[in-house]
Amino acid sequence: MRTLPRSFYARSAVEVARGLLGKILQHGDARARIVETEAYLGTGDAAAHSARGITPRTRVLFGPPGHAYVYFIYGMHYCLNVVAEPEGVAGCVLIRAVEPLNGLAGATEGPGKLTSALGLTTRFDGTDLTRGPLRVLAPNDAPAIEVGVSSRIGIRAAVDLPLRFFIEGNPFVSRPSKPR
């Protein structure tokens, strides 16, 4: 299996979100298939962390693509994102659900759950996904995938934008069809 090159990430958040479906998320020996993602745009997206400019937390969103953006939320959960767009342009993809392949304990459907199962914390914030222990790989035998689209989950702003992507029919998708 081949590690995705940085050029894969240097595209729009929407393209990266779709492209990430079916790819393999690897942390050490643990591997899982990405089955659900959400795109967050750098500009014109009130729901994105980057919407109000660069802060110490969001600076990685404006940096080079192919890096991890991990943040802590609700006092309990970590969320894993992948930085997209060329350097200088904000934009990221939230990994919402993965399908466990090996070396994984616990549920992985839902952003808080998968980071818990993979052992991801803010320690991985800003790490390079093209090298190091946390990577995204392209499977050798890419199965045919039907991509479903819906509005994003768990946000207040820009609820109507169709920026959530998932593998149609995959049982590990956190929410089968259209949310509220």
Residues that bind DNA (CB under 7 A): 38, 40, 47-50, 52, 55-58, 61, 69, 71-77, 79, 81, 92, 94, 107, 110-113, 122, 153-156, 174
DSSP character string of 57-101: TGGGGGS-SSBEEEEEETTTEEEEEEE-SSTTS-EEEEEEEEEEE
Residue placing its CB nearer to DNA in the complex, 137 or 155: 155
Residues β-bridged to residue 161: none
Residue placing its CB nearer to DNA in the complex, 96 or 135: 96
Closest approach, Cβ 60 to DNA, in A, equals 10
Report helix, strand or coil for 166: strand
Residue placing its CB nearer to DNA in the complex, 7 or 55: 55
Closest approach, Cβ 120 to DNA, in A, equals 13
Closest approach, Cβ 153 to DNA, in A, equals 5
Closest alpha carbon to 91 in 142, 44, 135: 44
Residue placing its CB nearer to DNA in the complex, 1 or 149: 149
Closest approach, Cβ 59 to DNA, in A, equals 8
Q: Which pair of tokens denotes residue 11?
A: 């595209």
Closest approach, Cβ 142 to DNA, in A, equals 25
Helices vs. strands in the chain: H and E counts, helices first: 3, 9
Query: Which residues make Cβ contacts (< 8 Å) with residue 35, sequence separation at least 6?
Result: 21, 22, 97, 98, 99, 166, 167, 170, 172, 173
